[in-house]
Structure 1
């Protein structure tokens, strides 16, 4: 047949879309021209929809940068619509990308919403120092009941302020923000609040994860001054973008952006000029937070005016960083190096058990100690940190929480918290969860069954055991136990069964 006589092709996917739409309303598919049928877009696969969503999101960011808020929202709606049309199996590698983009879209919408009610402002603008009644009240508190705490925090600030100022300058942010840790944590890297906010910048767990702070069995980077500072500045930049001024951003840093936005939306007018417009409607602790910060700026800016003679700030500790790949206790390492344990602990405050992890880790040591430290670590035994809870204890006649706490080298409050106890009352037969870090008062090996020299027994390793203790208890040597059990190192595990030749030495 000639080409002119050949039937024209129609995209089968386009035709299917038309048929399905007709079936949905109980009608026969209408007759379409070829051009009309081909104009109906075919269904896209998930990967293509994800690409479309990312493209729309990027266009939204471009629109936002040129202050086209409506255009940005339209593109964000388009991006989210593409995500909704995606159908993915549970094992699809695209699921994480879809979730990440959904979060980015949500943040962008929140940012646009905040921008509509906040005045535009430069990120490096200064913070206005007003002396109103609320600020003066906090100044009086610092002058009286909180005076010593204020002066101690100011003294401690010297260890970290140079680092914080360097990070602020890198981000072109107001240097006044370097004083936020004074009211957040008194410049204590391991400060823990009643709300479980941790570290010098007081991150709760979820916000720490949100800004990339690692939290695992060994490390909690919320307690690392450098890493937490960088995360805090990124959070504050985001808050400043939302609210347009630093005082409101600082309030949101304390109670969360959602709480501040709720207060703004509840106003009778649809805009606000400054933090003080919403001050009275904020939660008490948050409302007090900003006046305390401004009071701090006023005092450190002119101590004599407010009756202070501030102490000399502590100098920062000069350090170097070495890469290690061994779990060691900082106390043992510092003893080998001939330095105070507190020095290594302060430099590495993110280490939860004051021990390095069992993976590659950048350890901070005092300047000049790097090579000595690397040589020393090779000779040290591996440290295995305790799990939070591994032991269970059944209460016996005559037991008290105090006696149990002393036996397991822990505290009454720790036992009460682990077992949700409201009082110190316990009953015979009650099973308590106990922190394994203490261990029982009696050495585990001493509780083992007696055995005569020449006998061969099987011993089950208990919490707190080591090969030296076991060998001593059974009159043998570490080498004999290792040889009898084909052990290549001194490391043993709880529950491991060891063959012991009692009283046998080389």
Structure 2
């Protein structure tokens, strides 16, 4: 019987390659399906990509499974929805004549039809058992099904031949599906991802041994930080353990890896997909960089893809380029798709087609690096942590100082913090094991971070403007503007585009709450205005730059508009905010000279007087300047 089932599997593959949609149409037109006797009806598993070729006819066939149809009904002609019947007397005469002259051939066909009907019931029962997870009983039902169709003597009857072939095809297809599902639901099954070695995989192995050797070694070393946590989550979810190496291909085990498509983190989620699977992203945190949360999101996504495709290699291709693109390739196949990624390989985009062999190449190498000539160093030690809940905004540098560790090490534990600052709401901060009680004891003494009203401003690009000009104007860098606006070509920006300009998010403001009260009588609070600098403020308030920076916990001399500063009081009182006076231009003056003479930024002087860098000034003109 097992040999016969193998024959059916081969037959299924041949039928699929030849295109057996007519078989399904015949099943539908004949309505030979029945409900199994004594078996509770159950919803079948989700339709896989295997069935997409037969979507229309399968829908009809599924509908017919809910009906009980007499085999004889399939052979009777019909007009519309009514069965054509002879008059009563004629029926009696025909019945008498039939019973009197019924031949052995007729009896054989009738018996064969009954066997095929019974076989179809077992096939449907197998579907129900499979839906409930009873794999062995489902296979036993298919074995009984196969035995019944072998007993059917069809005697060259074309309708019975078609029915028998259709049922054979259904049995073999169902057998493939059951065996495939058994291989994918067992926890930690190492055979779930087939280790195929072909020319495509060998090419990727050669790349890892050659041009990408350093990348592979560094990624393998970083894998030690997170892989054991990922492996544990995969085992708990019942997914193949080999998937724990997928971040090596996705991001090189770099939690902050950012692709050209704005995919971020170990698992390279784009914002929309991350949001779909519950990854939070706001002003302060991006959970795509959170190891545990992004891993759970990846598991949910991979499980969803496997429910669609049923083949792990195809799942990986869909993970790379999206399920929609893979489904379109499957629908456009000239031959039928039978859960085999390599049938799709030539039709997929090159990056996606390369993705799966690249992953398999990585598996071959990590399983036996010496065989492929790679001397892999020991992985980094795993990152272990415990959690402390914070309720106010803190900078990781201050926390690291209290814990007696480097800021870099603390950032590595909390990569989801976008600016190394905890959010204003409750947040679970990860710290090294054994440090929890120390941090809780000193939490109240940590200086609170007070954010500015906005971390960026907007600018509408004008003709002729460049990123370097904007960077100088707003006291930032070209790279910061490019990163915030996803600009790939830094030498090209389009006029009319609205850009986000960072305004000092790297230079946070601190207020040490304990010092503030004691210094309140000796200092004032100042809001930074456009054109201000620490040098100007120190000169205006008769103090020095170092004292202002120390009082505000600043690590950089850069300021941003709206920033709050605590400035020591001196003998000089500042002018009212926005105080200006008039200045009459003299011969030989230039905008730059006037601005410097009045301790103004050139940009401040031009904006105040509605001038441009190309504007000409003449003796006798009157302009506004800041009061010193």
Indicate the TM-score class for this superposition, using the shorter chain for normalisation. 0.5 to 0.7
TM-score norm. by structure 1 comes to 0.64
Q: For 1:353-502, what aligned pairs fall within 5 Å after superposition?
A: 353-385=419-451, 387-390=454-457, 401-402=467-468, 405=471, 408=474, 410-415=476-481, 424=491, 434-437=501-504, 442-443=532-533, 446=536, 463=561, 465-469=563-567, 471-472=568-569
Q: Distance in 2 between matches of 1:313 and 1:423?
A: 37
Q: CA offsets per residue over residues 287-336 of structure 1, 9 Å max, x none?
A: 00000000000000111110011110001122111111111111121123
Give the secondary structure class of the aligned counterpart of 2:566.
helix
Q: CA offsets per residue over residues 140-167 of structure 1, 9 Å max, x none?
A: 1000110011000000000111101100
Q: Distance in 2 between matches of 1:223 and 1:247?
A: 25
Matched, 1:184 2:250: yes
Match of 1:64 in 2: 44
Q: Distance in 2 between matches of 1:423 and 1:300?
A: 39
- Quickly say closer, same or farther: Cα 1:270–1:433, change in 2 above 3 A: closer
Q: For 1:6-155, what aligned pairs fall within 5 Å after superposition?
A: 63-65=43-45, 70=59, 119=177, 120-121=180-181, 122-123=183-184, 124=186, 125=189, 126=191, 127-155=193-221
Contact 1:260 1:282 in 2 (8 A): yes
Give the secondary structure class of the aligned counterpart of 2:320.
helix
Deviation at residue 355 of structure 1 after TM alignment = 0.8
**Equivalent position to 1:170, from 236, 250, 258:** 236
Matched, 1:312 2:292: no
Contact 1:327 1:357 in 2 (8 A): yes
Deviation at residue 442 of structure 1 after TM alignment = 4.5
Q: Distance in 2 between matches of 1:265 and 1:346?
A: 44
Contact 2:309 2:339 in 1 (8 A): no
Match of 1:276 in 2: 342
Q: Distance in 2 between matches of 1:404 and 1:172?
A: 52
Match of 2:603 in 1: none
Q: Distance in 2 between matches of 1:72 and 1:475?
A: 91
Q: Distance in 1 between matches of 2:60 and 2:535?
A: 73
Q: CA offsets per residue over residues 357-378 of structure 1, 9 Å max, x none?
A: 0001111001111122223332
Deviation at residue 379 of structure 1 after TM alignment = 1.7
- Quickly say closer, same or farther: Cα 1:333–1:475, change in 2 above 3 A: farther
Q: CA offsets per residue over residues 102-142 of structure 1, 9 Å max, x none?
A: xxxxxxxxxxxxx99x9543324521111101000000100
Deviation at residue 472 of structure 1 after TM alignment = 4.1
Q: For 1:258-277, what aligned pairs fall within 5 Å after superposition?
A: 258-277=324-343
Deviation at residue 342 of structure 1 after TM alignment = 1.1
Q: Distance in 2 between matches of 1:432 and 1:215?
A: 20
Q: Distance in 2 between matches of 1:288 and 1:134?
A: 8
Matched, 1:208 2:188: no
Give the secondary structure class of the aligned counterpart of 2:445.
coil
Q: Distance in 2 between matches of 1:419 and 1:243?
A: 36
- Quickly say closer, same or farther: Cα 1:451–1:136, change in 2 above 3 A: closer
TM-score norm. by structure 2 comes to 0.52
- Quickly say closer, same or farther: Cα 1:220–1:451, change in 2 above 3 A: closer
Q: Distance in 2 between matches of 1:400 and 1:448?
A: 32
Q: Distance in 2 between matches of 1:278 and 1:425?
A: 38
Contact 1:444 1:465 in 2 (8 A): no
Matched, 1:296 2:362: yes
Give the secondary structure class of the aligned counterpart of 1:241.
helix
**Equivalent position to 1:218, from 284, 295, 312:** 284
Q: CA offsets per residue over residues 36-86 of structure 1, 9 Å max, x none?
A: xxxxxxxxxxxxxxxxxxxxxxxxx95134989859987xxxxxxxxxxxx
Which entry has the higher C-alpha Rg, 1 or 2? 2
Q: CA offsets per residue over residues 359-417 of structure 1, 9 Å max, x none?
A: 0111100111112222333222322456452265999x9x9754753675532143356
Q: CA offsets per residue over residues 423-481 of structure 1, 9 Å max, x none?
A: 65899xx99752112687843793699699xxxxxxxx973643422x447768xxxxx
Give unmatched runs, 5+ long, in structure 2.
1-40, 49-57, 64-172, 508-529, 543-558, 574-628
**Equivalent position to 1:229, from 295, 302, 305:** 295
Contact 1:328 1:382 in 2 (8 A): yes
Contact 1:324 1:374 in 2 (8 A): no
Match of 2:393 in 1: 327
Q: CA RMSD in A?
A: 4.0
Q: Distance in 2 between matches of 1:473 and 1:208?
A: 53
Q: Distance in 1 between matches of 2:531 and 2:365?
A: 51
Give unmatched runs, 5+ long, in structure 1.
1-60, 75-114, 453-460, 477-506
- Quickly say closer, same or farther: Cα 1:423–1:171, change in 2 above 3 A: closer
- Quickly say closer, same or farther: Cα 1:280–1:474, change in 2 above 3 A: farther
